[in-house]
Structure 1
């Protein structure tokens, strides 16, 4: 009796892959690509939960989570904190306002911006999302040793800091 492997069969993909020089970029081992894929898969998994339960998408969830944690903020500050483009923030805020989950209050000192905060209904959604998000994070890391989790946290912090530094450097262009 032949046992089936749970490992993916990469032989077809490997056969189709053209021979390449050693310095060719391979996405499956390129750290920035792998981190992006991981972030997307994790985000989509969590999004499925709060989409079904609360009818909100990823941008709306990020805004609710940010305002739930920090209270009143401007859309610009929410976007900066959650790393979302201002148009995405604007659309998500408009959707949340329409649903009565977020309210906007004019900034008396600068009429070009407004302060956002969760309404009582928004706070209720935040209270419902919080245990789901924390439970998802716990299930995601289930089975990892405490030392590995500490190492992962340290590495994420270091990569985040280093990415911020690299983001400030001028791009290298060799033509």
Structure 2
């Protein structure tokens, strides 16, 4: 045992290791590109990723309810309501439409960077994520 380390009262966890626990690995793998993505949106458009996700969903769906947005963009109702400040059915404003035109190249560049980093593994990675997410639907 290393000096300055404390022996765990749960020795069975010693072999486990959070760095091999899939949920922690997936969260960690998403964190860095997510932070880069958020930083770019904040710097270029002065918005957060949740501020971006709501209008993108509205653009793709042609309008939606708060409940639909909660499910589709994995945001809780409080966060959705704090972003949209509108009642039941939501749609894009003219400002949102203009914002979408500006956001698309940045979003596409982030996606292309992830695909490039994963290379031939990208399709398998996407399929694996789809299988995990399918359980939530």
- CA shift, 1:76, in A, is 1.4
1:115 aligns with 2:77: no
TM-score (norm 2): 0.83
5+ unaligned residues in a row in structure 1: which ranges? 1-11, 95-103, 105-112, 166-175
What is the TM-score of this pair, normalised by structure 1? Answer: 0.67
Larger radius of gyration: 1
Q: Secondary structure of 1:164's partner?
A: coil
CA deviation string 1:124-154 (max 9, x = no partner): 11111111111111112214333x2221122
Question: CA separation of 1:25/1:90 partners in 2, compared to 1, >3 Å: closer, same or farther?
Answer: farther
The whole-number CA distance in structure 2 between the counterparts of 1:63 and 1:164 is 19
1:87 and 2:78 are equivalent in the alignment: yes
RMSD in angstroms over aligned alpha carbons? 2.5
Deviates more, 1:21-30 or 1:60-69: 21-30
Q: Which residue of 2 aligns with 1:151?
A: 124
Q: 1:139 aligns with which of 96, 113, 134?
A: 113
- Cα-to-partner distance string for 1:97-123 (whole Å, 9 max, x where unaligned): xxxxxxx5xxxxxxxx52111111111
Superposition map of 1:1-175 within 5 A: 16=5, 18=7, 20-21=11-12, 25-94=16-85, 104=86, 113-146=87-120, 148-161=121-134, 163-164=135-136
Decide which structure has greater helix share: 2
Q: State the shift of 1:91 in Å.
A: 0.6
Unaligned runs of 5+ in 2: none
